[in-house]
A and B are shown apart, each in its own frame.
Chain A
Amino acid sequence: SQQGEEDPQALSIQEGENATMNCSYKTSINNLQWYRQNSGRGLVHLILIRSNEREKHSGRLRVTLDTSKKSSSLLITASRAADTASYFCATDEMNRDDKIIFGKGTRLHILP
């Protein structure tokens, strides 16, 4: 079964607003990653957060990790039309960090 589960499945917001997506996972992890996929293309890596980190920033992206709740969130601030894409979290497992498992993703649509 899949490790990560994103929430919501789909999200539509107005351009300029902030978008928040959540990821919950089942087993203890070493690392959690977020990826973006534009329609029909390969995934692009956004940010990696390690299990001993609580927050990371990259440009307009902010990722938090709560290992006690086995959850992570991705915040995109000041959204743009180009942010329209699917977003996936991916995790390894504490004792199997060579196996990287993806969730089902959140489809984000930025309305003009």
Chain B
Amino acid sequence: NAGVTQTPKFQVLKTGQSMTLQCAQDMNHEYMSWYRQDPGMGLRLIHYSVGAGITDQGEVPNGYNVSRSTTEDFPLRLLSAAPSQTSVYFCASSPGGRGNSPLHFGNGTRLTVT
């Protein structure tokens, strides 16, 4: 059972480039979310989804797009990368879709924007 798989593990972008961070889970979880982690800032919620076809904004959504066309996948798109988006990105999923279910995390994508 793979759990939550994030690709790539590392990525370097130039300012203005676009890219998609991939997240896939094989646990049939309805709820999926993206966080970014910066030193001293903990994890901040970017976007989340309570099921296929449904997405909503978190604390820091600007500069990021998401879609949820299947239960398994929840890609995060950076439309025009900026140095402020240098961070470690974590994808998470949970079965219950609410705060009463533990989140399962991927191992993260470390993104550097130069």
Contacts and interface: CB of A to CB of B under 8 A. Distances in A.
Given A33-B102, A45-B103, A105-B42, A100 B33 contact: yes
B86 to A, nearest CB: 16
Contacts of A104: 40-42
Given A2-B42, A44-B105, A102-B43, 4 more contacts: A30-B98, A88-B42, A99-B56, A99-B99
Interface of B: 4, 31, 33, 35, 40-45, 48, 50, 56, 58-59, 90, 92, 97-100, 102-108
B26 to A, nearest CB: 16
A31 B99 contact: yes
Nearest to A50: B100
Contacts of B97: 98
Interface of A: 1-2, 29-31, 33, 35, 40-45, 48, 50, 88, 90-92, 97-105
A97 B100 contact: yes
A92 B43 contact: no
A92 B99 contact: yes
A50 B107 CA distance: 27
Contacts of A33: 99, 102-103
